[in-house]
Every structure is written in C-alpha cells, then in structure tokens.
Amino acid sequence: MIAGGAGEGAGAEASWLYRFHLGDASVHGVGVVDVRRGGSWRARCLCALLRLPGSGETVPLTVRIVRSPGRELWSRRFGSRELTSRQLRSDSAVRERKGPLELRMRAVRHGPDLTLYALDAWPYFRADLLST
C-alpha cells in the first residue's frame, strides 16, 4: 500500500491529486511519501522481486509521468530506489506493469490523501510475442 499526501492547503492537495493520479497531461514533481509494504510472506516476496521501495515515512520522492493515449510511463525515485513502470487506469482501477508482472490496485481518496490498495498480481505477456 502506498499513501501520499500533498502540499499545503486543500486547494494544493486537490490539485496535486488531480495532476498526478487523475490528470491527462504529463507531469513531474518532487515531494515525500509514506510507504507501507504488506505484511504477508507473499507480499514481502513480491516486493523484493520487483525491487519496490521498503517501508518508511516521509521517504523522498521524485516522479515523472509521461502520458500518451491509453497508457502512462511512470519513472519514480523513492529515496535511492528507482522504479519505472507502465500504468493503465480506469476510474478507481489501476493496473501497473513492471517487467513480466501486472499489479492490480484500487485507488481510494481519503480527503487530501490517496491510497493505492494492492488487489492482486498476475504474469503479463504481450500477445504479439506469443503469436510468433
């Protein structure tokens, strides 16, 4: 689960949430985020395999999102850990592809914060690679 707050004031928070998680334009930003990994052994193994950031509070974060029709390329740096992935979203459903896995999450807004809840993870294979 990743939870993020915004800046100062309700207007800044709503604007931050919209630009980064709901907007249509490419964006870049710097801030901090709270990261909480799941506690199950499966969650810990998956996080390690994907080289996801460890749990921590006020972890320095740099984000660059390049949007094109139908997908987003996310480049993030959590502290010293870099993470690049592709995301597809529809309403509160978020699918994030990193390597051969697709993570499915649900985005829930709690006032000025946005929380991503992991639902499941599945192998992802491109159909055009399987047909050759």
Does the reported pTM lie above 0.75?
A: no
Q: What is the pLDDT of residues 107-125, one digit of tens each?
A: 888 777 778 788 887 777 6
pLDDT at 131 over 50: no
Find the domain containing 109 and state its range.
Answer: 2-130
Asked whether the beta carbons of 125 and 101 are under 8 A apart, the reply is no
Mean pLDDT of the chain: 78
**Domain count along the chain:** 1
Range 23-43 average pLDDT? 86
